[in-house]
Amino acid sequence: MDTSAGAAARLHRLEVEIDQEQALQFGAAAIGFIGAVLSLTVSSAFVLLPALAIAALGQYLVQGWCPPLALLARLGLRSSAEIDSERYALAASLGETREPRFSATAGAEAD
C-alpha cells in the first residue's frame, strides 16, 4: 500500500472517529434517560442520575472540562481538537490545498 492510499484511508477513519465530546453527550443522554425511567419505575432516588448527567454537561459547558472526560481519555477517546489536528496534518501531507472534509453531514450543510 502506498503512503497516499494509507493516508487517505486514515483520513476516512478520522472522519468517523467518535470524539470525547460526542461520547460525553451520548453518555449524558443515556444516563439521563435510564435515570428518568428508573425514577418512575423503581425508586425516586434514581432522579439523581439525570441531575448528575446535566451537572457534568453544565460543567463542561462552563469550564471546558468535567470528571467524565478523564475516564473517556483513559478509554482512548481523543478530543475533537486532537482529531482535527491529525486530519489537517494528513491532508497537508497529501498536498491538499483545501480544507479536509469533516463528515458527510458537514459537507451537506455547507452546500
**Is 108 inside a domain boundary?**
no
What pTM did the predictor assign? 0.73
Q: Are 56 and 24 spatial neighbours (Cβ–Cβ below 8 Å)? A: yes
**Is 11 inside a domain boundary?**
no
**Is 37 inside a domain boundary?**
yes
pLDDT value of residue 110:
46
Block mean pLDDT (10 aa), the chain, length 111:
72 87 94 95 94 94 92 92 88 69 51 42
Our count of domains for the chain comes to 1
The sign of the torsion formed by the CA atoms of 50, 51, 52, 56 equals positive
**Is 4 inside a domain boundary?**
no
**Is 8 inside a domain boundary?**
no
**Is 81 inside a domain boundary?**
yes
Count of alpha carbons within 13 Å of 25, Cβ hemisphere only? 6
Whole domain around residue 64: which residue ranges? 17-95
**Is 60 inside a domain boundary?**
yes
